[in-house]
Structure 1
């Protein structure tokens, strides 16, 4: 009797050690995270970057806890637009001038690691003065319309007068006036040099801005210190809320979501 040859058993495939599988998975996950971080950093550097408002100087338009999106390409790019403000030459790539009334985020001249937000009031070549709390540019006052006496948003016990200021082109915003005879209500005439801006906070009696020297406030702001233009309040949390305080995540400020910055 003829016997059929026995089938040859399949060769065993060496299995990949579990440790090697784990290492490969960690490496792949690290690659995905690195690509994601690089994409996020690139997007924030080139296009838009979020900032949280830390002070009351721009009330009532911006209040403590607002989460604001800033456009990087509104004025072009400078070293201030990049993370950590690297020591690059002055100037802006594809630079465009800021307009009077724009709300901008910038690096404080005396400490570039600090980012502040104020409104552009004086352009290069302007003569700016404040008398009795009224701002004049090149001898012409910015028209003011008193609105109502209200409580300061972040300090309700402080009573302030809401005042609308309106430029000749119709661009308007609301400021807080805390009363007469307060510091910053009366200034000398400031002549704004080329390549610089005169900045003011909307909370006029609670803002360290271009009315004070750079060692105290802002001084005159070099154009290359501008990070970008504040465009939109996407969300807002009450003071004291924080990313590392999960119990505060729902401490929202209603009515302040998706508000254009005027």
Structure 2
């Protein structure tokens, strides 16, 4: 009987240690390497859909005060607070899809990096002009989705034509190729204020971001606090490389609404 009691106690102790170690490891991974991110809006369609779940590579650009979880309440990266420098700093590349902290609201945003420090960006009739050169934009097949309530926010997609619920919602789709060869899809459903904006000259150690869903994105074309404005280097959290899974329903827990074609899908 004594032997059994000792064995049972040892088993429980090992289980508790295993759970503690697993939690510590998960916390370490989240702090240093990856951060989970869920897409709540359609500003990055068609690259990212509402309900996409991904991990952000925090190692890609190094670490700042915004790189650690719990920044507002307890700063685990206090070594970098008040500095625009990053530990193990690496500069992002044009075309990267980046998660960053909004300089005013403190919310996490995800957009595509279009302008680097020193660049001049204009948008004319929906086309990006980068350092005086029009960025290549080719018309592709329309982007089509069903007009229905999407995600927990139950938002409706915007369409080129006025269609009712359950109807075929279309938007113009283009393939935009940046000067470094990064090609990605963009959407347009008409003429909006963001289609003619700038010029903007990007300050040192700051960046200019745009959503791929160009007519439905509050980004660097719009001044803060409503928009994003220029984003400082210190506010970058990491690079989004791959969708892990995607849910088309109201909750990511509704596994029957997961999109089978988006498991481990590379982000381009």
Q: Is the 8 A contact 2:111 2:209 kept in 1?
A: yes
Q: Is the 8 A contact 1:134 1:185 kept in 2?
A: yes
Aligned position for 2:257: 251
Of residues 242, 249, 267 in structure 2, which corresponds to 1:232? Answer: 242
Q: Does 1:69 align with 2:75?
A: no
Q: So what's the TM-score if we normalise by structure 2?
A: 0.83
Q: Is the 8 A contact 1:210 1:219 kept in 2?
A: yes
Of residues 126, 129, 145 in structure 2, which corresponds to 1:133? Answer: 126
Provide the rounded CA distance (Å) in 1 between the counterparts of 2:245 and 2:205: 33
Q: So what's the TM-score if we normalise by structure 1?
A: 0.84
Larger radius of gyration: 1
Aligned position for 1:184: 194
* 1:200-251 deviations in Å (ceiling 9; x for gaps): 00000000111112211211101111110001011111130234xxxx2221
Of residues 173, 192, 198 in structure 1, which corresponds to 2:184? Answer: 173
Shift, 1:27, TM fit: 5.5
Provide the rounded CA distance (Å) in 2 between the counterparts of 1:171 and 1:93: 27
Provide the rounded CA distance (Å) in 1 between the counterparts of 2:145 and 2:196: 22
2:139 is paired with a residue of what secondary structure? strand
Q: Does 1:80 align with 2:91?
A: no
Identify the range of structure 1 (193-202 vs 87-96) with the bigger mean alpha-carbon deviation: 87-96
1:189 is paired with a residue of what secondary structure? strand
Aligned position for 2:103: 109
Q: Does 1:159 align with 2:159?
A: no
Q: Does 1:206 align with 2:216?
A: yes
Q: Is the 8 A contact 1:64 1:239 kept in 2?
A: no
Shift, 1:49, TM fit: 2.2
Shift, 1:186, TM fit: 0.8
Q: Is the 8 A contact 1:120 1:199 kept in 2?
A: yes
Aligned position for 1:59: 45
Aligned position for 2:82: 89
Aligned position for 2:161: none
Q: Is the 8 A contact 1:232 1:258 kept in 2?
A: yes
Q: Does 1:37 align with 2:28?
A: no
Unmatched 5+ stretches in structure 2: 151-156, 158-166
* 1:150-185 deviations in Å (ceiling 9; x for gaps): 3357636542100000123321000001122x1211
Aligned position for 2:266: 260
Unmatched 5+ stretches in structure 1: 1-12
Provide the rounded CA distance (Å) in 1 between the counterparts of 2:130 and 2:30: 35
